[in-house]
């Protein structure tokens, strides 16, 4: 019997940082944390299901292309970062399996045979699995960004953990592009203290805290728009009863911002 895989929420950093030496040095602790995930997991999964903060659709949408291209969804970076290629194969059969799970759960789901990997997907994976041999299924958030619905999505995906599929929510625990540097230091720290406490709580308390995340200290300063927090809801839902562990924590990101990542199970 295959051992159940954990789930992860990863703070994926900024833009195409692995291909920019100065930025990669700044994010050295994130680099180390992402690179350590295969060791933590203990084996190579059959596939990675990546829920990316950089894709929203009216229904939860799955990339069904067997050979996805690239989506360079960032701006103002060096020219070479717009020719980066992460050639991991897609996972169209897994897309059909996930489609069935969501239909059974009564959640809206669609397939997209065209969309390529955005940087919420290819950036962390390029550090986790640099050889790009593990098949990848990219999945969108749902427009409206309802926390409870994204926890329900995670719960529908939970059987995949017993099918050797690694579920990763890719976002950022602090995401206010207009308030990096010293201005983000205090709010990001306050929000992270709340987040650490929420993740350490019992399953029902943790889920309730996430549904009501806007009541957290500095919540709307840290997330003027919550798309980078929603992948956490999916990772928690898929490992609903499992304990959390903080696997990445840095208080110096982007000039003083605090950011964290978590493993569940």
Report mean pLDDT in 10-residue bins for the chain, 265 residues: 90 97 97 98 98 98 98 97 98 98 98 98 98 98 98 98 98 95 96 98 98 98 98 98 98 95 98
Residue at 2 is within a domain: no
pLDDT of residue 216: 98
Tell me, yes or no, whether 237 lies in a domain. yes
d(CA 238, CA 160): 9
| Nearest alpha-carbon partner for 204 in 151, 141, 157 | 151
Contacts of 173 (CB under 8 A, 6+ apart): 9, 11, 188, 191, 192, 195, 222, 228, 229, 232, 258, 259, 260, 261
Angle (CA) 251-256-257 rounded to 5° is 65
- The CATH number of residue 38's host domain is 3.40.830.10
User: pTM here?
Assistant: 0.98
Q: Is residue 158 part of a domain?
A: yes
**Would 207 be classed as within a structural domain?**
yes
pLDDT of residue 1: 56
Domain annotation covers residue 25: yes
- Domains of the chain: total: 1
Which tokens belong to 240?
Answer: 């609903």
CA distance 39 to 43: 7
Question: In the prediction, which pLDDT does 42 show?
Answer: 96
Question: Does 53 map to a domain?
Answer: yes
220 in a structural domain? yes
Secondary structure (3-state) at 56? strand
Q: How many CB atoms lie within 10 A of CB 181?
A: 10
**Is residue 1 in a domain?**
no
Domain with 192, as residue range(s), is 7-264
**Total number of residues shown for the chain:** 265
In this structure, what token pair is assigned to residue 145?
């960004």
């Amino acid at each position: 019997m295959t051992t159940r895989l954990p789930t992860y929420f990863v703070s994926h950093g900024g833009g195409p940082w692995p291909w920019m030496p100065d930025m990669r040095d700044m994010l050295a602790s994130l680099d180390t944390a992402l690179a350590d995930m295969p060791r933590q997991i203990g084996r190579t999964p059959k596939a990675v299901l990546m829920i990316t903060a950089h894709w929203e659709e009216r229904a939860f949408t799955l990339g069904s292309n067997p050979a996805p291209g690239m989506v360079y969804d960032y701006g103002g970076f060096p020219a070479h970062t717009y020719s980066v290629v992460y050639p991991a194969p897609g996972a169209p059969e897994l897309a059909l399996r996930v489609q069935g799970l969501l239909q059974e759960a009564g959640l809206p789901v669609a397939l997209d045979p065209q969309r390529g990997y955005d940087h919420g997907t290819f950036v962390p994976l390029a550090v986790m699995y640099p050889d790009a041999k593990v098949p990848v299924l990219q999945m969108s958030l749902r427009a409206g960004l309802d926390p409870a619905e994204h926890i329900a999505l995670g719960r529908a995906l939970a059987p995949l953990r017993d099918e050797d599929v690694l579920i990763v929510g890719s976002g950022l625990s602090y995401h206010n592009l207009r308030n990096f540097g010293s201005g983000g230091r205090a709010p990001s720290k306050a929000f992270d203290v709340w987040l650490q406490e929420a993740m350490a709580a019992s399953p029902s308390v943790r889920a309730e805290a996430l549904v009501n995340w806007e009541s957290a200290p500095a919540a709307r300063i840290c997330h003027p728009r919550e798309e980078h927090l929603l992948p956490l809801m999916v990772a928690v839902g898929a490992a609903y009863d499992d304990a959390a562990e903080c696997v990445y924590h840095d208080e110096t990101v982007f000039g003083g911002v605090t950011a964290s990542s978590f493993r569940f199970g």
